[in-house]
């Protein structure tokens, strides 16, 4: 069996460095089905949806365990190469192969013969290569039709090795789901699917001469697998409604894994998708009505500044006042003990804010927002490193102590800050609930009860979901990684560095609940 290309030291350095950086930027990164990844030495093409520019590639590099694959050969647009920037060095030093895109050359024909030859040689050596078959990163809720390049590479490699009885090549599809891709401390799900294996003996239809319909069939199968593991919707508005339906069916406090949450949201998204173009899909009136009611209810929640859970569980005025005081005092306490660490974090926050603010001006949302996380990662890495080195230089007699204590203080401060902001978010929601008034709150509860009955009927009666989601997801997931914890579990070892407080997969490090998506220019 081929042993693959030797791993350059720069690739190992990049993998370790960005594994650390990604764990800081994202609150939780859950990797599912890593055991399905073909082992080192087995030719493999890793394919995923592409919605977050360079961050997608870095995420795959760090998500694939080194014990499974010692290296993942990447591809990137050729315009990223040859620049005197850190990003360019990062791409080139990791053994990335440049791919020319017509859109970067005034839509003229481009020649990628050398790149394809290099990729096929890498596969024949037993390497794993990474390709994003959508062709380009894009800020959009739906997966673009996949290009046929991956299937054609498989066909060409099988043809070149038709006389080798034991030769095989796999396509490993992967679905990447960002809860809020560009937001600090949001969550990410990486789901690997069972590899599709090809051999010259079992797949003679892919050995030259090839009917192009077979290439299309392989591409369609890839699209189906990638789409099945993420939220693939035609509009952000549909994603918004599907998330609300998911939260109503399995409300806040349901102990479910991130994977279960994504699959549940996708289930509702698929059910509501027919209402996007009713004349084309023949959607029934009940689905259209439910979609309309979900949108109106969410719009009212946004205007009132409260979450569905505040309507679901009514509180007395006295309880609201008591909890308001507790949340305010708790958030103030956490903010106060976080001040030393926040001083260290301030240069990082200011640098990334300034860089992203200027970058957003460079183009429309659809052309820039998929690169925001990339900018935050790179500028955060540099500014964080600067803070660390400066701290060491200013405390030279105690440099060895500072080198360890500063990162630890910044990390635990980040955890305290998450809780402080969550408590303040609860405080503002409770104060808004007071302003709403009992009459409006009662009216909203009536609306919710009617809407919940429709959602539950769709979930149980039509979609075949269980009657008791809490029991189902507990039995299904047990205590797996990436599970939202209950109150008792999340309260244990409060000051532990490893503790996770988050109870809602929709949370980010924001003073408001993120439920809307920018649709301007999309």
The count of domains in the chain is 3
Boundaries of domain holding 49:
9-229
Nearest to 27 by CA among 515, 481, 521, 361: 481
In a domain, 4, yes or no: no
In a domain, 3, yes or no: no
In a domain, 1, yes or no: no
Residue after which a domain boundary falls, among 195, 229, 263: 229
- With beta carbons less than 8 A apart as the criterion, state whether 23 and 29 touch: yes
Same domain, 441 and 461: yes
> In which band, very low, low, confident or very high, does the pLDDT at 521 lie, cut at 50, 70 and 90?
very low
Q: pLDDT digit string (tens) for 349-404?
A: 999 999 999 998 888 877 788 889 999 999 999 999 999 999 999 998 899 999 99
pLDDT of residue 489: 43
pLDDT of residue 283: 54
Same domain, 77 and 109: yes
In a domain, 149, yes or no: yes
In a domain, 311, yes or no: no
In a domain, 417, yes or no: yes
Same domain, 33 and 150: yes
Same domain, 222 and 182: yes
- The span from the CA of 471 to the CA of 17, in Å, is 39
Same domain, 117 and 68: yes
Task: Kindly report which listed range (15-19, 103-107, 142-146, 212-216) carries the lowest average pLDDT score.
Answer: 103-107
- The span from the CA of 125 to the CA of 161, in Å, is 12
Residue after which a domain boundary falls, among 386, 416, 435: 435
Contacts 24+ apart (CB under 8 A), 93-102: 93/8, 93/10, 93/11, 93/14, 94/8, 94/10, 94/11, 94/14, 94/61, 95/5, 95/8, 95/11, 95/71, 97/73, 97/129, 99/75, 101/77, 101/135, 101/136
In a domain, 421, yes or no: yes
In a domain, 82, yes or no: yes
Same domain, 242 and 215: no
Same domain, 206 and 279: no
Q: pLDDT digit string (tens) for 457-510?
A: 999 999 999 999 988 887 775 445 454 444 434 444 444 444 445 567 888 888
pLDDT of residue 307: 87
Same domain, 122 and 177: yes
Residue after which a domain boundary falls, among 400, 416, 435: 435
pLDDT of residue 395: 92
Task: Kindly report which listed range (82-96, 178-192, 430-444) carries the lowest average pLDDT score.
Answer: 82-96
- The span from the CA of 78 to the CA of 97, in Å, is 8
Q: pLDDT digit string (tens) for 2-19?
A: 566 778 787 888 899 989
As a whole number, the mean pLDDT across the chain is 87
Same domain, 191 and 62: yes
Same domain, 159 and 220: yes
Residue 178: CATH number of its domain: 3.40.1130.10
Same domain, 182 and 299: no
Same domain, 140 and 80: yes
């Amino acid at each position: 069996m081929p042993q693959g290309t030797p791993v350059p030291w720069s690739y190992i350095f990049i993998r370790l460095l960005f594994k650390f950086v990604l764990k800081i930027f994202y609150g939780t990164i859950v990797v599912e089905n890593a055991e399905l990844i073909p082992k080192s030495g087995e030719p493999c093409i890793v394919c995923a949806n592409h919605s977050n520019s360079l961050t997608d590639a870095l995420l795959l590099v760090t998500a694939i365990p080194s014990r499974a694959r010692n290296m993942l050969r990447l591809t990137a647009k050729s315009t990223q190469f040859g620049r005197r920037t850190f990003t360019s060095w990062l791409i080139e030093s990791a053994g990335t192969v440049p791919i020319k895109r017509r859109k970067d050359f005034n839509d003229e024909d481009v020649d990628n013969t050398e790149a394809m030859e290099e990729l096929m040689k890498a596969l024949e050596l037993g390497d794993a290569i990474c390709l994003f078959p959508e062709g380009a990163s894009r800020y959009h809720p739906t997966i673009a039709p996949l290009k046929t390049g991956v299937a054609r590479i498989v066909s060409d490699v099988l043809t070149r090795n038709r006389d080798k009885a034991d030769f095989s090549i796999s396509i490993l599809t992967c679905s990447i789901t960002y809860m809020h891709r560009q937001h600090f401390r949001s969550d990410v799900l990486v789901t690997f699917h069972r590899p599709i294996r090809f051999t010259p003996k079992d797949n003679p239809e892919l050995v030259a001469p090839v009917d192009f319909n077979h290439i299309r069939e392989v591409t369609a199968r890839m699209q189906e697998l990638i789409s099945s593991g993420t939220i693939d919707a035609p509009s952000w508005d549909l994603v918004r409604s599907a998330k609300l339906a998911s939260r109503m069916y399995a409300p806040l406090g349901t102990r479910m894994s991130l994977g279960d949450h994504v699959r549940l949201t996708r289930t509702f998204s698929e059910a509501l998708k027919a209402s996007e173009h009713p004349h084309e899909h023949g959607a029934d009136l009940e689905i259209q009505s439910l979609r309309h009611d979900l949108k109106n209810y969410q719009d009212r929640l946004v205007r009132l500044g409260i979450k569905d859970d505040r309507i679901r569980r009514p509180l007395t005025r006295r309880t609201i006042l008591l909890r308001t005081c507790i949340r305010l005092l708790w958030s103030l306490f956490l903010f106060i003990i976080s001040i030393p660490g926040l001083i260290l974090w301030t240069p990082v926050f200011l640098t990334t804010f300034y860089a992203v603010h200027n970058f957003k001006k460079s183009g429309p949302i659809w052309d820039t927002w998929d690169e925001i996380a990339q900018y935050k990662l790179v500028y955060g890495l540099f500014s964080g490193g600067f803070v660390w080195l400066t701290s060491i230089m200013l405390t030279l007699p105690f440099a060895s102590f500072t080198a360890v204590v500063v990162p630890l203080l910044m990390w635990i401060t980040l955890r305290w800050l998450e809780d402080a902001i969550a408590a303040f978010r609860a405080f503002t929601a409770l104060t808004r609930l007071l302003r709403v008034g009992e009459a409006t709150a009662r009216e909203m509860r009536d609306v919710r009860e009617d809407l919940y009955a429709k959602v539950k009927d769709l979930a149980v009666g039509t979609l075949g979901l269980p009657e008791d989601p809490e029991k189902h997801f507990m039995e299904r997931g047990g205590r797996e990684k990436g599970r939202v914890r209950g109150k008792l579990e999340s309260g244990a070892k409060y000051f532990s560095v490893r503790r996770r407080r988050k109870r809602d997969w929709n949370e980010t490090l924001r003073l408001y609940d993120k439920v809307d998506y920018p649709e301007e220019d999309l």
